[in-house]
Amino acid sequence: MNLVIGKEPEDEIVEFDQMILMKYLIEFRIESFRRCWNFNEVDSLIKQMPFLEQLSLNRFTQDIRLSNGEEFLAILPKNTLQKFNYCTEYEPNEYLESVDGITASWASTPFPVCCLLAENKNQIFLHTIPYKFSYLDVNSSFVKTINKKERSL
């Protein structure tokens, strides 16, 4: 199942247990544009699909728990999940000096990640490696960060 969710001014928290029956899905992909997700929504969604083998999530958040690998791993279906693609743009309420803590939280998971801090230090772009989504929509300050890293190599 592929699910694409936009953002409408009247959007509220999505209650996935009220959506279609998703219990027997083994492949699920969500691409969410301009809608801010929280940990409880993603947890609710994943709990509806206990037999998932392939999961791809690409969305925006202001909830740090969705950038923390240890916390995120705890909500995944460990016994069945074979492929996991993840991408999130996280916008914290305060400036970040480093992404080291976020990157370190993924070190104990089986999923290698890349984490970029925007030049203005108010957004991160986190994704599993390799990047498996069909498009890349990032803030231009991330591109500046990538260019700086490439020049330093």
- pLDDT tens sequence across 54-111: 999 998 899 999 999 999 999 999 999 999 999 999 988 888 888 999 999 999 999 9
**Secondary structure (3-state) at 125:** strand
Parallel, antiparallel or unpaired: strands 113-117 and 124-128: antiparallel
The amino acid present at 87, given as its one-letter code, is: C
Cis-peptide into 9, omega within 30 deg: no
The pLDDT assigned to 10 comes to: 52
Instruction: Give the pLDDT confidence score for residue 9 in this predicted structure.
Output: 47
Average pLDDT over residues 42-51: 91
The share of the chain scoring above pLDDT 70, in percent, equals 77
In this prediction, residue 12 has a pLDDT band, given cuts at 50, 70 and 90, of: low
pLDDT of residue 145: 62
